[in-house]
């Protein structure tokens, strides 16, 4: 596979690329330095999905640079800073946090937790979200797990009764 030299359209530096005509759709052709400095860098790449990604637990993240309302984006950055997200998540915010920030019109504080009432991390409607503290959040999850266990027991009892010979 032969590589070709391309010039970065922004800074003019030469960079190496794969075979000619083998670029992905909507490729930026920027060098890495210019790409990383670009404020809307995600919107230029081929697999941009509106700035949203989903993690293995089902929580949806939103790229802060993809938020068009600058005031809201600044509140999100402040919230991320307050909550001390890991380095891995810098520049992204949970979608349920974003929805709560929109509702409150302020950033989230360090001791605040946004809880999904139904336990589904993909359901980020504002009616399903409640702002709570860590202690009450753990209590609500215990109650939810207890209720799930009760329902599982009812289902297994019902299956035994229906399946038993009469």
29 contact partners, CB below 8 Å, separation of at least 6: 6, 8, 9, 17, 23
Identify the CA nearest to 63 among candidates 104, 98, 31: 98
Tell me if 161 is assigned to some domain. no
| Distance in angstroms (rounded) separating the CA atoms of residues 164 and 101 | 53
R_g (Cα) of the chain, nearest Å: 23
Q: How many domains does the chain have?
A: 1
Per-residue burial over 99-110, b if 16 or more Cβ lie within 10 Å, else e, is bbbeeeeebbee
The answer to whether the pTM exceeds 0.85 is: no
- Domain membership of residue 138 (yes or no) is no
User: 19 lies in a domain?
Assistant: yes
Report if residue 80 sits inside a domain: no
pLDDT at 26: 47
Quick: pLDDT tens for 99-158: 999 999 998 888 888 999 888 888 999 999 999 998 888 888 888 888 889 989 888 887
Domain residue limits at 25: 1-48
Q: Decide if 27 is inside a domain.
A: yes
β-partners of residue 61 are 53, 94
56 lies in a domain? no
């Amino acid at each position: 596979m032969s590589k070709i030299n391309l010039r970065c359209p922004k800074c003019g530096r030469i960079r190496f690329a794969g075979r000619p005509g083998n670029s992905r759709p909507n490729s930026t052709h920027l060098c890495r330095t210019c790409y990383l400095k670009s404020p809307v860098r995600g919107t230029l790449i081929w697999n941009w999905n509106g700035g949203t990604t989903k993690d293995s637990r089902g929580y949806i993240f939103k790229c802060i640079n993809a938020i068009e309302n600058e005031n809201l984006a600044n509140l999100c950055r402040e919230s991320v800073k307050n909550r001390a997200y890991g380095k891995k998540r810098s520049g992204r915010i949970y979608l349920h946090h974003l929805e709560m920030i929109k509702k409150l019109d302020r950033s989230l504080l360090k001791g605040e937790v946004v809880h999904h009432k139904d336990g589904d991390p993909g359901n980020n409607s504002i009616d399903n979200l409640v702002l709570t503290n860590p202690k009450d959040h753990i209590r609500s999850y215990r109650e939810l797990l207890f209720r799930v266990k009760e329902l599982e027991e009812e289902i297994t009892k019902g299956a035994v009764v229906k399946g038993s010979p009469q």
